[in-house]
Amino acid sequence: CRKRFSYAHEYAHALLDRDLKVTYTSRDNAKSLVESRANAFAAAFLMPKKGVETALADLDKGKPSKFLFSTYDVAGDIGTEGERRTPPGSQRLSVKDAAYLAMYFDVSYEVSCYRLRSLGYVNQAELDTLIERKDAGSTFLRLAGGCAQKEQKGATNGVGTHIVSQLLPLII
Residues 47-77: pLDDT tens digits?
Answer: 999 999 999 988 888 776 776 778 887 888 8
Structure confidence at residue 109 (pLDDT): 93
For 83-98, what is each residue's pLDDT tens digit? Answer: 877 666 667 899 999 9
Structure confidence at residue 26 (pLDDT): 67
What pTM did the predictor assign?
Answer: 0.72
Residue 115, C-beta contacts closer than 8 angstroms, at least 6 positions apart:
43, 44, 47, 52, 101, 107
Contact 48, 73 (CB under 8 A): no
Residue 60, C-beta contacts closer than 8 angstroms, at least 6 positions apart:
90
* CA 80 to chain CA centroid, nearest Å: 37
DSSP letter for 168, please. Answer: H
